[in-house]
Structure 1
Amino acid sequence: MATRKSGTRGFATPLAAGLGLVTGALTALSAQHRTLRSMRERLDHLEKQVSHSQRQTNLANQQHLHWELLSKAIDSPELAEVLDIFEVPASQRKRRQYLFANALYTNLLFYYRIGNLSRDEVFGRMRGLLQNPVVREYWFATRGQRATLPEGSDEAELGHMVDDLLRQLDEADIDEWWVVGEPPGE
């Protein structure tokens, strides 16, 4: 005679299969979540790179435009008069020299902003440029313009650095200008 067993045996197999299915689904969801998080991090990284690249492109375009405008002013006394905002009146010749000194300084500032020069390297190059009396005159003649720069901006900070360097050069008792001043560090 055959006995029929009743109970949970028939129910256990579907329950185990269901638990296995749920466990598998949770594992798959967890793996998808990790993959999505990794993709999101990678996308954020790429967006930052694109943003940085775009900023450098914008700076390069601005630098090119600045040089074109200065070149026109250097070549044309009439246009140079528009840029004559120096603290002391400047002759036509002096104005052209100041504009060129501005181009040299702006070039260093640009190189610093895009990361091609460190602050220490800008410091060293400015120490050399400040040996030229025209560059020193330009620096003093543009003091008022630098005073209007927003505090904390790259240009304001470098301007303060050059002001300090110029003071140190003026106070130095040695002829070895290349050792005067402490580079500011980053």
Structure 2
Amino acid sequence: AGGVFAGLAIAAGAAGLALQNRLLARRLTLTHQHRLHFDLLSKAIDDPELAAVLDTFEEEVPPVKQRQFLYANALYSNVLHAYRTGSTSESEIGGHLHVICRSPIFREYWEFTRRHRAVLQEGSQEARLGRRVDEIVQNISQLR
């Protein structure tokens, strides 16, 4: 019986290690993808000709405002990355969101990109975080 329990303990330990390895691999993949996204945004912020590629707004957005929106996207993407990887606690995420949502430019960006978020898969992490930002923006707007 002792050998059976030892075998089960080893199997459980191996399964736990495999799960940890999968989680670590996912975090590394998300971090790599986030870095690529940030690099692309940085290039677009620095070069209006590249920023034009990311202009998916239904209204005309002046170049200065477009650069601000790209930066707002970079800020939001950074919080989203922390949320996805679990590198920041839920309360810290909320604090970061409250800070960036205080910016009128961020709130304008958020409104301009509402239709972009409408196509997100309902239960996805990004959709959940987006709804949280919606609530914060709504609360801040009601206070003003």
TM-score normalised over the length of structure 1 = 0.73
Distance 1:78 1:129 in 2: 27
Deviations 1:81-112 (A, max 9, x none): 11111242211111111111000000001011
String of CA shifts for 1:129-161, please: whole Å, max 9, x gaps.
122121111111100001110001111011111
Structure 1 unmatched ranges of 5 or more? 1-29, 174-186
Q: Residues 59-91 of structure 1, C-alpha deviation per residue, up to 9 Å, x if partnerless?
A: 110111001111111111111111111242211
Q: Does the CA-based 8 Å contact 2:102-2:140 persist in structure 1?
A: no
- What residue number does 2:71 align with? 100
Equivalent positions of 1:25-44 (< 5 A) are: 30-44=1-15
Q: Specify which of 39, 44, 47 is matched with residue 76 of structure 1.
A: 47
Choose from 131, 134, 140 the match for 1:163: 134
Residue in structure 1 matched with residue 35 of structure 2 by the alignment: 64
Q: Which has the higher helix share?
A: 2
Matched, 1:139 2:125: no
Unpaired runs of 5+ in structure 2? none
Q: Bigger radius of gyration, 1 or 2?
A: 1
- AA paired with 1:77? P
- Paired residues, what number? 144
- Whole-angstrom distance in 2 between the partners of 1:88 and 1:165: 24
Match for 1:53: what amino acid?
A: L
Q: What residue is the counterpart of 1:4 in the other structure?
A: none
